[in-house]
Amino acid sequence: MDPRPFYAPQETHNPLRWILPVTRALCIGTAPRSFLFGGVGLGAAVTALETATGRPLIWATAQYLAYAEPNSTLDIDVDPVVEGNTVTQARVMGHVGGREILTVNAALGARDEFSPRQFAEIPVVPSPREAEGAPLSYEEDADLHNRFEIRPIERLPGEDEGRARMWIRSREGEPLTAGLLAVIADYIPAAVTAALDLPVETLSLDNTLRLIRVQPTDWVLCDMQVFGIASGVMHGRMHLFSRDGLLLGTASQSGIVYGG
């Protein structure tokens, strides 16, 4: 069994070049429209960045430019643009052959603690075991979605229609890392279906993860809000909490919305 997390790229002889074989199990969609899940691309880039720089992620933002199809290889090139005493500003270009798939900008590093606080509070929701929302259904059993167990939480009467929440965990027991949080953060489009109560498809244009901390937890609570949908584009955000209420990070995303 491969000891690497499913989203982790493979090292090469060049410490700034990584590769990610794009298997069907890293993709979503149905043939002939199957492609690498955007969060896996960001997770791979984050993993490469943290390893190449030797520093933990602070934030990363990905712009999704094209699709990487199954049975292709994503080349990941890390460029540590500015290396300060405690913070590295870096970028990644992910490409298949000469076609650029995604661009990632990021900051990595850590400083001494200064008045640590948490102002965002985990909402009062049923536990993963008690969550009774209808399970999210996907057409393909062999794709990326099958790696996760997802338990949606039904919206309370009178609650804002733009809100959606769900518990999510790795079926394979993957330990929580910045890379795994980057994958989970790409589930913001799930809130669009919940907000509209319609079978819609949303294709991500970008994703930004701002990391607060990496705290071991089995389940992650995704507290999502769709800010608005206009001109066929949605904008939304996600707060990611550990099971015991620690804020792990925040994410934001825009995506093209298609009718079901």
SS3 string, 93-162, reads: EEEECCEEEEEEEEEEECCCCCCCCCCCCCCCCCCCCCCCCCCCCCCCCCCHHHHEEEEEECCCCCCCCC
Domains within the chain, CATH numbers bracketed: 10-110+130-258 (2.40.160.210)
- Contact 253/237 with Cβ under 8 angstroms? yes
Lowest-pLDDT range, 115-119, 148-152, 168-172, 218-222? Answer: 115-119
Residue 260's pLDDT is 61
Residue 259's pLDDT is 76
Global pTM reads: 0.93
CB-hemisphere CA count at 13 Å for 258?
5
Q: What are the φ and ψ backbone dihedral angles of 174, each rounded to 5 degrees?
A: -60, 130
